[in-house]
Amino acid sequence: MSSQKAGALDAADLSPLEILIQLYEGAIRFLEQATEACEEGMVDEFKESLGRGQRIIEEFQRTLDFTQGSGVSNQLNDLYGFMLDNLAQAKLTHDVQYIQQVIKNLQILLDGWRGADTAQVEG
């Protein structure tokens, strides 16, 4: 069995919340790689890793459910937009402070999702 098929089987066994948590972890990992590449002057790696993190955040934003009537989706939409703006600035200026701010925000959200996952397991 190929590793790609094994990964697909693993994802099928995860809850939507567990998949979301893994996506947040992936976005953070890619942005940390982008930061390191930028600091080391590795432009191609910087752009590739930044783009991967950016695409995950774009997907978070694209899949928000605005039909529930709560302001949470609107707030997340604004936050994701802010993050994407910061990443665009980082791409233009190669200033890692923009990326670090996005990582900080993603980490806060990730901690919240992990708390929700723990509550689900305990509940």
pLDDT in tens, the chain (123 residues): 444 544 554 778 899 999 999 999 999 999 999 999 999 999 999 999 999 999 999 999 999 999 987 799 999 999 999 999 999 999 999 999 999 999 999 999 999 999 987 776 665
Rounded Cα–Cα distance for residues 100 and 36 (Å): 11
Q: What's the pLDDT at 105?
A: 98
Q: What's the pLDDT at 123?
A: 58
Q: pTM for the complete prediction?
A: 0.86
Which segments of 6-111 are extended strands (E)? none
CB atoms closer than 10 angstroms to residue 40:
10
Sign of CA dihedral 33, 35, 38, 44: positive
Contact of 91 with 111, CB cutoff 8 Å: no
Q: Which CATH number fits the domain that encloses residue 69?
A: 1.20.120.340
**Residue carrying structure tokens 């190669």:** 94
Rounded Cα–Cα distance for residues 26 and 78 (Å): 21
- 97 is in which domain, residue-wise? 3-122
